[in-house]
Amino acid sequence: MELLVATHNEHKKEEIQEMLPEYKVTSLTDYGIFDEIIEDGNSFHENAAIKARFCFRKTGKASIGDDSGLVIPALDGRPGIYSARYAGDHDFKANIAKVLAEMENIDDRRAYFVTVMCLSDEKGEQYFEGKVYGNITREVRGENGFGYDPIFIPDSYEISFAEMSPDDKNKISHRRNALDKFLNR
């Protein structure tokens, strides 16, 4: 069964494909769809739905819109829904530098990643949410992963997501948690 993921991010597509081997995961790039999807929602749920609806309307294929982000309570929830463009549009080195600078004198380093997925298909819409809790490092650690992975250590671990193998990260990630709920629907 095909599942269209509302992304041009090949990392995200590959990560989801690894977690859903029984599906053929496709992306907007695979369909040659390069229209800009305006994510102007006020929450992860709204942004996920905007993306899923767009893809389903455009292709008629069961589509998943996913909005993910890093939430840091000590920063009033920032970067939150602005995670990908916190210091510059998808410039994660700048985004990481901004978070580390803002956290420099903060001892409360608790944070969590959240993924909200919206499935849009002929039956309507369904939502699946996953979270993983942990702490923000004081420096960049590791080479794997993407986004904020080099500054996030999940609870019960002593290494960052970026220091883990992709398989190990995918077993515990926020996206994994959301996809498990999707699979068990």
| Active site members | 67
Say if residues 51 and 28 touch (Cβ distance below 8 Å): no
In terms of DSSP bridges, do strands 124-136 and 110-121 run parallel, antiparallel, or are they unpaired? antiparallel
Alpha helices of the chain — where are they, by DSSP H?
10-19, 44-59, 92-103, 166-172, 174-183
DSSP 79: B
What does the buried/exposed string (b/e) look like for 51-62 if buried means 16 or more CB atoms within 10 Å of the residue's CB? bbbbbbebeeeb
Strand partners, 154: 134
DSSP 72: -
| CB proximity list for 101: less than 8 A, separation 6 or greater | none
